[in-house]
């Protein structure tokens, strides 16, 4: 049976020099969350290595590797649902940008490989090509919790409204987005996209980004965010490391969907969105 409130801890993480130091740092941040204060903890995109497409293969790990084991153990230790942001996953010669979700027993309950690779070249701004080293995933990802069904995508995936809508069509009421918008795209589109997807799909949208490192080759915008189905910004951080807990009122979501029933009023006799 679904509960009416889901409390999410957004961990806007500062990078550490090594994976091992990062593990210890995350464990300290998550361990400092008071017992029972959060139901789900969420980490940012590509937290276990530098956000540099050229380097993704060097710190990629196989399914079940050290970072997977760390996340599984952390979920079990803290007795929370854990969205492990994303890490570089190696399968044979291929490398994926992959997000894992674990239940409070440390069992993996979801896995999403980033479907849309971030290949951009903005005049006077950011140039970045994930496809130089990454392979795209091909699955729409939702998972069940005692609170509600939740959708999952990674960063650039969020720019494609079809994917968000497919998760909602599959029953999602919350959409988790580990992400790392940069200093070009972040100021322009970060809040705009999270509010838009929340309103269009009548869901809660949750974006968790790395804290900004001014010395990194790729500088994160930060500003981890939570938006309501009405488009309200319930929480938005700055660029520094922080852990924020936000309560998502699922009764409010049902109220919005009842009073403004856009999902029910779609003209499926004229158009529809389907998985191939």
Active-site positions read 45, 114, 155
Query: Please, are residues 76 and 44 in contact by the beta-carbon 8 Å criterion?
Result: no
Query: Please, are residues 114 and 86 in contact by the beta-carbon 8 Å criterion?
Result: yes
In eight-state DSSP terms, residue 132 is: G
Phi, then psi, of 261 in degrees rounded to 5: -80, 55
**Neighbouring residues of 274: CB distance < 8 A, sequence distance ≥ 6:** none
**Neighbouring residues of 18: CB distance < 8 A, sequence distance ≥ 6:** none
Phi, then psi, of 180 in degrees rounded to 5: -150, 65
User: Taking each helix axis from N to C terminus, what angle separates 66-78 and 19-31, rounded to the nearest 10 degrees?
Assistant: 10
Instruction: Kindly give the residue spans of alpha helices, DSSP state H, lying in the chain.
Output: 19-31, 56-59, 66-78, 161-169, 185-201, 250-259
For residue 27, the SS3 value is helix
The first and second tokens of residue 201, run together, are: 């799909």
235 burial level (CB within 10 Å; 0-12, 13-18, 19+): middle
Q: Among 200, 113, 187, 184, which residue's Cα sits nearest to residue 155?
A: 113
């Amino acid at each position: 049976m679904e509960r009416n409130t889901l409390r999410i801890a957004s961990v806007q993480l500062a990078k550490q020099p090594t994976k091992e130091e990062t593990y210890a740092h995350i464990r300290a941040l998550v361990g400092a969350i008071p017992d029972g204060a959060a139901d789900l903890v969420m980490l940012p995109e590509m937290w276990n290595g530098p956000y540099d497409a050229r380097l993704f293969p060097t710190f990629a790990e196989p399914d079940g590797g050290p970072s997977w084991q760390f996340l599984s153990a952390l979920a079990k230790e803290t007795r929370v649902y854990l969205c492990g942001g994303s890490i570089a996953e190696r399968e044979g010669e291929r490398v994926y940008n992959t997000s894992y979700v674990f239940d409070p027993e440390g069992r993996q309950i979801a896995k999403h490989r980033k479907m849309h690779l971030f290949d951009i070249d903005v005049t006077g701004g950011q140039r970045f090509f994930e496809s130089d080293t990454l392979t795209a995933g091909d699955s729409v990802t939702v998972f069940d919790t005692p609170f509600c069904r939740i959708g999952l995508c990674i960063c650039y995936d969020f720019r494609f409204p079809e994917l968000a809508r497919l998760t909602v069509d599959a029953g999602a009421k919350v959409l988790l987005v580990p992400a790392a918008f940069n200093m070009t795209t972040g100021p322009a589109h970060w809040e705009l996209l999270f509010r838009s997807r929340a309103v269009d799909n009548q869901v809660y949208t949750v974006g968790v980004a790395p804290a900004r490192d001014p010395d990194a080759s790729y500088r994160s915008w930060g500003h981890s965010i939570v938006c309501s189905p009405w488009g309200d910004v319930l929480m938005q951080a700055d660029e520094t490391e922080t852990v924020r807990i936000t309560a998502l009122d699922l009764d409010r979501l049902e109220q919005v969907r009842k009073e403004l029933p856009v999902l029910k009023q779609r003209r499926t006799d004229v158009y529809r969105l389907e998985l191939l």
